[in-house]
Structure 1
Amino acid sequence: MKHPGQTTGFGRRKEPHTVIIARGDEIRHFTVRPWIMAFLGSTLATIVIGYLLATSYLVLRDDLIGAMAARQARLQQAYEDRISALRAQVDRITSRQLLDQQLVETKVSELLEQQAQLSSRHGRLAPLLDRAAAAETPQASAATPPDIKPEIRASLSDDGTSAPSLASAFAATAPTKSSAFWSLLKSPQESETAADHADKLFASIKQSLKTIESDQIARIDSLTENAYQTADTISEALEASGVKVDSDYGKSDVGGPLIALDNPHMFDAKVQELDESLDRLDKMKETARRLPIANPAPGRPVSSTFGVRTDPILGMPALHSGMDFRAPSGSTARATAPGTVVKAGWNGGYGRMVEIDHGFGFSTRYAHLSRIDVKEGQKVSLGDVVGEVGTTGRSTGPHLHYEVRQNGEAVNPLRFLKLGKEIGRYL
Structure 2
Amino acid sequence: MKHPVRPAAFGRRKEPHTFIIARGDEIRHFTVRPWLAAFIGSALAAIAVGYLLATSYLVLRDDLLGATAARQARMQQAYEDRISALRAQVDRITSRQLLDQQLMESKVTELLARQSQLSQRHGRIGPMLERAEAASTAVPAAAPARQEEKPDVRAALPGADSLTTAFASATDLRATATASPFSFWSPRAAISTESSADHADKLFVAINQSLRTIENEQLVRINSLAENAYQTTDTIKEALETAGLTVDLDNGKDATGGPLIAVDKATMFETKVKELDEALDALDAVKSQARTLPIANPAPGLPITSTFGVRRDPILGTPALHSGMDFRAPTGTQVHATAPGVVVKAGRNGGYGRMVEIDHGNGFSTRYAHMSRVRVKVGETIKTGDIVGDSGSTGRSTGPHLHYEVRRNGDAIDPLRFLKAGKKVVQYL
Answer yes or no: same fold by TM over 0.5: yes
Which residue number corresponds to residue 369 of structure 1? 371
CA drift of 1:347 comes to: 1.7
Flag the 1:199–1:193 CA change in 2: closer, same or farther, 3 A.
Answer: same
Q: Report if aligned partners of 1:98, 1:175 keep a CA contact under 8 Å in 2.
A: no
Specify the alignment match of 1:181 in structure 2.
184
Partner of 1:293: 295
- Is the CA contact (8 Å cut-off) linking 1:94 and 1:180 kept in structure 2? no
> Could you tell me whether the CA contact under 8 Å between 2:150 and 2:228 is conserved in 1?
no
The aligned counterpart of 2:381 is: 379
Question: 2:346 pairs with 344, 359, 365, which one?
Answer: 344
Contact 2:374 2:390 in 1 (8 A): yes
Which stretch shifts more, 387-396 or 414-423? 387-396
SS at 2:177's partner residue?
coil
Q: Structure 1 residue 379: deviation in Å?
A: 0.9
Alpha-carbon spacing, 1:114–1:420, altered in 2? closer, same or farther (3 Å): same
8 Å contact kept, 2:249–2:286: no
Percent identity over paired residues = 62
The 1:305–1:118 alpha-carbon spacing in structure 2 relative to 1, beyond 3 Å, is same
Distance 2:326 2:158 in 1: 59
Are the aligned partners of 1:404 and 1:413 in contact in 2 as well (CA < 8 Å)? yes
Deviation of 1:134 after TM superposition, in Å, equals 2.0
The alignment partner of 2:355 has SS state of: strand
* Correspondence 1:75 to 2:75: yes
Aligned twin of 1:240:
242
Q: TM-score, normalised by structure 2?
A: 0.83
8 A contact 1:90–1:180 mirrored in 2: no
Unaligned ranges ≥5, structure 1: 1-6
Counterpart code for 2:413: V
| C-alpha contact (below 8 Å) 2:356/2:369 kept by paired residues | yes
Distance 1:216 1:232 in 2: 24
Q: Deviations over 1:255-281 (max 9, x none)?
A: 245331327444333333333332222
1:143 matches 2:149: yes
Does residue 220 of the first structure (1) align with residue 222 of the second (2)? yes
Query: Separation in 2 of the partners of 1:145 and 1:389?
Result: 44
8 Å contact from structure 2 (residues 166, 207) kept in 1: no
What residue ranges of structure 2 are gaps of 5+ in the alignment?
1-5, 140-145
Cα distance in 2 for partners of 1:104, 1:11 equals 108
Q: 1:175 to 1:406 in 2, by over 3 A?
A: closer
Alignment of 1:378-417 (within 5 A): 378-417=380-419
Q: Distance in 2 between matches of 1:422 and 1:134?
A: 18
Does structure 1 retain, via aligned residues, the 8 Å contact 2:230–2:283?
Answer: yes
What is the count of residue pairs matched by the alignment?
414
Change in 2 beyond 3 A, CA 1:108/1:13:
closer
- 1:356-393 CA-partner distances (Å, limit 9, x unpaired): 11122221122222222211111111111112223333
Counterpart for residue 165 of structure 1: 168
Q: Is the 8 A contact 1:98 1:176 kept in 2?
A: no
Write the letter of the residue equivalent to 1:112: L
Q: Which residue pairs with 1:278 in the alignment? A: 280
Q: Residue 176 of structure 2: SS of its match in structure 1? A: coil
2:101 equivalent to 1:101: yes
Q: Provide the TM-score with structure 1 as the length reference.
A: 0.84
Give 1:211's match in structure 2, choosing from 210, 213, 216: 213
RMSD of aligned Cα (Å): 3.4
C-alpha displacement of 1:397: 3.4
Contact 1:354/1:372 (<8 A) preserved: yes
- Counterpart of 2:149, as a letter, is A
Partners of 1:423 and 1:27 in 2: CA distance: 164
* Partners of 1:341 and 1:357 within 8 A in 2: yes
